[in-house]
Structure 1
Amino acid sequence: MTKISSLATVTALASVLLMGGAFAQTAAPAAKDAAPQATAPAKESKPRSAASLECSRQADEKKLKGKERKKFRKACLKEAGDKAAPAAAPAKQ
């Protein structure tokens, strides 16, 4: 039993000492003429409407967060859209 544990100890110690060299190596330098990595283009965001900004402001005043805020903004934007729809529709003759 003593022989097995001493062999295991020596093996572990040798492994630790030999692995130190593998971790000490540095990465190869990048080629100078290599093309720069392409980054994903930033997602273009649409400008927010006045109604959206107003609904967000109202939600902030009410200190709404999470699902409650989302539900409030959805209802607010729908109401704002309903108000704007008749004005935007052409008049029938």
Structure 2
Amino acid sequence: MKRVLLWLMLLLSGLATRVNAQDLQKMQQRQKAAIQSAFRKKQVTPKEYYKLQEEQEVIRKAMERAKADDYLSPKEQNEIYGKLQRAEKRLRKYKTNREVY
């Protein structure tokens, strides 16, 4: 009985990891779309736009490195999530910096 519970818990934890990896990817795609939208609406300067694009490229490469072994460890998830949070904060800052274009 204990073995069955152990296997069930391991299986569920593996599924939770997959969902989180997909969530991180969706979060990055939403950020990319928000950056494009902000640039089209002239809420960010071209220089800020390119900085944000470079940051998204760094995040994409980090995700590829983390997924190379088909296992996204909690440390890797936290690292990528932190990068996404910093990018979100930077985009928000750039959009509200009161510059006139």
- Assess same fold via TM > 0.5: no
Larger radius of gyration: 1
Q: Give the structure with the higher percent helix.
A: 2
Task: Give the TM-score normalised by structure 2.
Answer: 0.29
Higher relative contact order (CA 8 A, sep 6+): 2
Task: Give the TM-score normalised by structure 1.
Answer: 0.31
